[in-house]
Amino acid sequence: MGPITPVNEPSTTPRRPSPARESPPIIGRTNDLFSLGNCTVVITGGGRGLGIVLAGAVIEAGGDVVYLDLLPHAQRRRVGVCAKAGRPLQDASTHRTCRVDITDAASTEHILEQIAPDALSPNMTLRGLVICAGIQHWAPALDYSVELWRKMLDVNVIGTFTSAKHCARIFKEQNFPASIVLIASMSGHIANRGLTCTAYNSSKASVHRMCRSVAREWGQYDIRINTLSAGYIRTARTFCFCLIIGNDFHTWR
C-alpha cells in the first residue's frame, strides 16, 4: 500500500499509463454510426406498443421493417410510423405486415423463409430480428391455472425461441453479420411491487437465460444476441392493465 496523501495536496505517486487502445475510436455523424441502410429488420409484435416504436427507430435509421403480428390493424399503424420517421411508405420496398402466430413454429418458419429472399432483392438484406411479441396476465400464484401458465410459456418462451432459431438459421446461411434482440423485462430479475405475475416473471427470466445460451452457440456465426429489460412503459395495453388491477403508474415511479 502506498503513502496516504492528505486531502487537497498533490499526490507524489506516479500515475500508471493508460492502456493502449487496440483500435482508434470511431468518429463520425451519429446517423452514420447507427445507420441501418441496406438492412431489413423483422419485428415480432410490431403492431403496437414497444414494437411499433422500435419499428419507427429502425425506419428513421434508414432500415426497412417487416412486421409480424396477429393484430389486423398493424398495416394502418405502420403507415403512420413511416410518415413520422420522414420516410414515405412507398420508399420502403420491403415494409410489409405479415399476420402470424409465433406459437405456430411451422407458420413462423414459412414466413421468415419468404421474407429473406424478398429482402435481398432490393439490396435490403435481412440483418436483424427484434422479438417484442409477448403476453401478460395477472393472477395470484395460488389461483393461477396450468392452462394459463402454458399459454404464457408458449408465447413468451417458445414463441421467442422459435422466432430466434429460424432467423438465426437464415443469418447463418446468408453468411452476413446479424443481430437479434430479445425483449425481456426487469420482471425477469425481480419480483414486482404491487403485482402478482409469477408466470410472466418466470417466462422473462427464461428469456434472459435463453439469450446467454444461444449467444454462446451462435456467436461463431457472427450473430450478436442481446436482451432489453424494460421497466414500466405507459402504452395503451399497460394503461388498461393498470385499470383492471386498480393500480397506477405513480406506484412504480
Return the CATH number at 41.
3.40.50.720
Residue 27 domain flag: no
Residue 110 domain flag: yes
Residue 5 domain flag: no
Q: Strand 178-183 to strand 125-131: parallel, antiparallel, or no bridges (unpaired)?
A: parallel
Nearest CA among 239, 241, 230 for reference residue 136:
241
Reduced to 3 states (helix: H, G, I; strand: E, B; else coil), residue 184 is coil
- Catalytically annotated residues: 200, 204
Choice between 244 and 174, residue whose per-residue pLDDT is larger: 174
Neighbour tally for 133: CB within 10 Å:
24
Number of independent structural domains in the chain: 1
pLDDT above 50 (res 179): yes
Looking at residue 4, its pLDDT comes to 56
Global pTM value: 0.78
Question: Quick one: angle between helices 105-120 and 160-174, nearest 10?
Answer: 30
Sign of the torsion angle spanned by Cα atoms 215, 218, 220, 225: negative
Looking at residue 242, its pLDDT comes to 64
Residue 25 domain flag: no
pLDDT above 80 (res 39): yes
Q: Is 226 exposed, middle or buried (0-12, 13-18, 19+ CB in 10 A)?
A: exposed
Reduced to 3 states (helix: H, G, I; strand: E, B; else coil), residue 110 is helix
Residue 197 domain flag: yes
| Domain range enclosing 216 | 33-252
